[in-house]
């Protein structure tokens, strides 16, 4: 670990904070987001960023979201609007998107669908794609302008590379340059476009793409895949990958002249301090004990008593709206799900102790699911409690979750199953997800 992190053996030092405690908010996708250690080996680099700040002066509010693009993060009620509610004057906002903006191979999905409709063809159901020179830039500008309206300082940070190696080097697509695969003759480089927005709007630009490229190519493909990207794909990092990328973010912040007011609030932790911070993150995944007394209950969530979004349900199974699983999906789609709800008493809360759900993939072995929970109609405080990226074909799997969830009095718990299909680069038909009845046990607090 000492060799991997190359962290100097210095102590965390404390300097007087200016004014009140500030927040550094981070918005982005699954490469940044929070994960429950008990649910998945994935770790976003945003999970580790707090360790590099003076905790007496700065609190990191990591709001990266799996599956988000600039468009979906901006337009989804429980994402950007809820982040804005948590921001205050004097805070900072790190903005890092592109992975999911690329879902339409460098084209805007709305324009692409208009073209497909004109040709009498089926439209795309994955609405995340933006065009880098137009809609991607437009959404970045929205984040910047709305942050500044709140006297929050925006920072544009380009995305980490995907480890798409060829002859020892990461290819253009891995560096978020889709020019060669777009067949449009137009430059489709998302990093260049983010840099241009930063220059246009006088925003600090931190080139995480270049930094991660340098690190990954220096480490080599084998090391990257066995140590950094050991989660089953070439986009998502595990614990070690998340840690080294958080270290890169720290270096970019520390060495950016435009962020000199942050420089005395960042601090390189000792190996011992950093190890303790990592252990604290991993401990969060352990089962919590709720000692409060309560009356046990069991609730069976019968099929059909659920809410669906962009999902079609038939006797054959569950498929996306339109029947096709889109090409190129490697993560959840936030607006495609099956949702179960359970409400606490208006005066007394409850604890959900176990969740049981039979699931089966039909027609193929590329089915994946997340199970997330959130609260209220806006689905706030989203947490992923289960991930399976290899559901066995035509074999029922019983998902059993022993992870208590405290539901305060008057609150409604929403549990969402979010499926996606590893399509091997082309849309897939005839692949279904089948869900049995969800069973929830817990206790109503006295």
Contacts for 240-244: CB closer than 8 Å, 24+ residues apart: 240/4, 241/43, 241/45, 242/43, 242/44, 242/45, 242/47, 242/48, 243/4, 243/5, 243/43, 243/45, 243/48, 243/274, 243/278, 244/4, 244/5, 244/215
List strands edge to edge, sheet with 92-96: 58-62, 22-28, 92-96, 153-157, 205-206
Say whether 347 sits in a helix, a strand or coil: coil
Task: Report residue 369 as tokens.
Answer: 């699911």
User: According to CATH, where is 3.40.50.1110 located in the chain?
Assistant: 2-283
Residue in the block written with tokens 């979750």: 401
Can you give the pLDDT at residue 15?
Answer: 36
Partners of 25 in beta bridges: 61, 93
Question: Does the 294-445 domain belong in CATH 1.10.357?
Answer: no
CA 111, 116, 120, 126 torsion-angle sign = negative
Helix (H, G, I), strand (E, B) or coil at 66: coil
Q: For the chain, what is the radius of gyration of the CA atoms?
A: 22
Cβ neighbours of residue 139 under 8 Å, at least 6 residues apart? 70, 71, 74, 97, 130
Looking at the chain, the domain(s) classified CATH 2.60.120 span: 294-445
Q: Please answer whether residues 155 and 92 qualify as being in contact, where contact means their C-beta atoms are separated by less than 8 angstroms.
A: yes
Q: Report residue 338: phi and psi, to 5°.
A: -115, 130
Distance CA 55, CA 17 (A): 10
What is the per-residue pLDDT for 11?
Answer: 31
CATH classification of 2-283, choosing from 3.30.420.40, 3.40.50.1110, 1.10.260.40, 3.40.718.10? 3.40.50.1110
Positions in the chain short of pLDDT 70: 1-19, 284-292, 424-425
């Amino acid at each position: 670990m000492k060799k991997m992190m190359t962290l100097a053996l210095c102590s965390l030092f404390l300097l007087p904070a200016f004014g009140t405690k500030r927040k550094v908010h981070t918005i982005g996708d699954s490469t940044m987001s929070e994960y429950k250690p008990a649910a998945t080996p994935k770790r976003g680099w945003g999970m580790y960023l707090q360790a590099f700040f003076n905790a007496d002066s700065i609190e990191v509010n990591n709001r990266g979201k799996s599956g988000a693009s600039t468009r979906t993060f901006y337009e989804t009620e429980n994402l950007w609007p809820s982040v804005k509610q948590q921001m205050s004057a004097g805070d900072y906002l790190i903005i890092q998107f592109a992975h999911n903006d690329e879902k339409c191979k460098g084209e805007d999905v709305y324009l692409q669908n208009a073209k497909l409709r004109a040709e009498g063809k089926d439209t795309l159901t994955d609405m995340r794609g933006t065009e880098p020179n137009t809609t991607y830039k437009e959404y970045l500008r929205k984040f910047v302008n709305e942050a500044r309206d709140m006297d929050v300082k925006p920072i544009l940070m380009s995305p980490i590379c995907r480890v798409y190696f060829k002859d020892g080097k990461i290819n253009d697509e891995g560096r978020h340059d889709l020019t060669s695969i777009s067949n449009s003759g137009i430059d489709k480089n998302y990093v260049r476009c983010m840099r241009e927005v930063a220059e246009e709007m006088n925003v600090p630009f931190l080139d995480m793409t270049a930094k991660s490229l340098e690190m990954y190519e220096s480490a080599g493909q084998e090391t990257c895949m066995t140590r950094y990207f050991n989660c089953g794909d070439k986009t998502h990092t595990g614990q070690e990958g998340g840690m080294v990328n958080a270290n890169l973010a720290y270096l970019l912040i520390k060495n950016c002249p435009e962020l000199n007011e942050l420089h005395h609030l960042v601090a390189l932790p000792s190996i011992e301090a950093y190890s303790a911070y990592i252990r604290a993150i991993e401990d969060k995944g352990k089962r919590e004990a709720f000692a409060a007394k309560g009356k046990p209950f069991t609730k069976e969530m019968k099929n059909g008593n659920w809410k669906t979004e962009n999902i079609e349900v038939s006797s054959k199974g569950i498929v996306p709206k339109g029947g096709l699983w889109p090409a190129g999906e490697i993560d959840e789609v936030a607006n495609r799900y099956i949702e179960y709800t359970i409400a606490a008493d208006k005066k007394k809360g409850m604890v959900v102790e176990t969740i049981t759900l039979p699931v089966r993939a039909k027609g193929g072995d590329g089915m994946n699911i997340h199970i997330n929970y959130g609260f209220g109609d806006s689905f706030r405080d989203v947490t992923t409690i289960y991930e399976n990226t290899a559901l066995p074909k035509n074999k029922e799997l019983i998902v059993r979750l022993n992870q208590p969830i405290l539901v305060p009095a008057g609150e409604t718990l929403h549990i969402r199953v979010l499926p996606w299909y590893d399509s091997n680069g082309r849309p897939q038909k005839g692949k279904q997800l089948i869900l049995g009845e969800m069973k929830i046990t817990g206790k109503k607090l006295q």
